[in-house]
């Protein structure tokens, strides 16, 4: 879905009118305004299923959602490891720390603004609320997360509700953070 500049202006003016009238228990004019001004129109379909166009989500949305889910799953899996396996993971993954290695690092505000915008609107919608979505990593993270997703996504189907993904999948996903030239 794409809107013309005139259509965007009409929507934004309607949001202003909606707010000025104090209408409650209806559409969220702030969300609509943000979705329209940032070209995150997919968010309207997610929030209001009656507006669905059956269009696929943009690639950036899929990437951000996959990354956020991956970090949730890494933390869940780590938290369900035995203390021995946690110690083993710390030995096998260079520079591992649960606070740093299992936390979503954010996206780079200078180079990954579109990804950061998707995360911001997901945050506004209350999605993926187990982590801070609006962090600025201050360095590009796309290539790193793509390497990690390359390991994680094939293993996602092996998720077990009591333990997460396998130990090997957790370890290998964390190892993928390290650039191949530094291994």
Determine the pLDDT at residue 109: 93
Determine the pLDDT at residue 141: 95
The two three-digit tokens of residue 27, written as one number: 């559409």
Determine the pLDDT at residue 52: 82
Cβ neighbors of 37 (< 8 A, separation 6 or more) are: 8, 12
pLDDT > 90 fraction of the chain, expressed in percent and rounded: 83
Determine the pLDDT at residue 177: 94
- State pLDDT tens for residues 24-65: 888 999 999 999 999 999 999 999 988 888 888 999 999 999
> How far apart (Å, rounded) are the C-alpha atoms in residues 145 and 147?
5
With 80 as the cut, is the pLDDT of residue 1 above it? no
Determine the pLDDT at residue 25: 86
Contact 94, 114 (CB under 8 A): no
With 80 as the cut, is the pLDDT of residue 183 above it? no
Mapped onto helix, strand or coil, the DSSP state of residue 87 is helix
Determine the pLDDT at residue 12: 94
pTM: 0.89
Determine the pLDDT at residue 93: 96
Average pLDDT (153-163) is 91
Q: What share of the chain is helix, strand, coil (3-state, %, to 5)?
A: 60, 0, 40
* Superfamily of the domain at 59-182: yfbu gene product, domain 2 (1.10.3190.10)
The two three-digit tokens of residue 97, written as one number: 């720390």
Write the burial class of residue 39 (CB in 10 Å: 0-12 exposed, 13-18 middle, 19+ buried).
middle
Structure-token match 């690639």, residue found? 59
- State pLDDT tens for residues 83-132: 999 999 999 999 999 999 999 999 999 999 999 999 999 999 999 878 88
Give me the residue spans of the domains in the chain: 5-51, 59-182
37 closest CA partner among 13, 61, 17, 56: 13
> How far apart (Å, rounded) are the C-alpha atoms in residues 53 and 43?
12
Determine the pLDDT at residue 180: 87
Determine the pLDDT at residue 51: 84
> How far apart (Å, rounded) are the C-alpha atoms in residues 77 and 52?
34
Determine the pLDDT at residue 150: 97
Determine the pLDDT at residue 176: 96
175 closest CA partner among 96, 66, 118, 77: 96
Determine the pLDDT at residue 55: 84
Average pLDDT, rounded, for the chain: 93
């Amino acid at each position: 879905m794409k809107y013309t500049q005139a259509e965007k202006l009409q929507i934004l003016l309607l949001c202003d009118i909606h707010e000025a009238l104090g209408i409650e228990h209806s559409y969220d004019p702030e969300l609509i305004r943000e979705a329209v001004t940032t070209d995150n129109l997919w968010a309207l379909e997610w929030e209001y299923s009656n507006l669905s166009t059956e269009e696929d989500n943009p690639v950036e949305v899929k990437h951000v959602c996959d990354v956020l889910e991956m970090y949730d799953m890494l933390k869940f899996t780590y938290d369900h490891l035995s203390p021995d396996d946690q110690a083993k993971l710390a030995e096998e993954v260079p520079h591992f720390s649960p606070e740093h290695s299992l936390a979503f690092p954010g996206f780079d505000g200078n180079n990954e603004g579109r990804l950061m915008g998707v995360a911001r609107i997901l945050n506004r919608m209350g999605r993926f609320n187990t982590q801070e979505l609006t962090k600025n990593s201050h360095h590009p993270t796309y290539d790193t997360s793509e390497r990690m997703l390359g390991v994680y996504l094939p293993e996602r189907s092996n998720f077990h509700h009591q333990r997460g993904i396998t130990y090997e999948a957790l370890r290998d996903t964390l190892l993928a953070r390290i650039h191949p030239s530094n291994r």
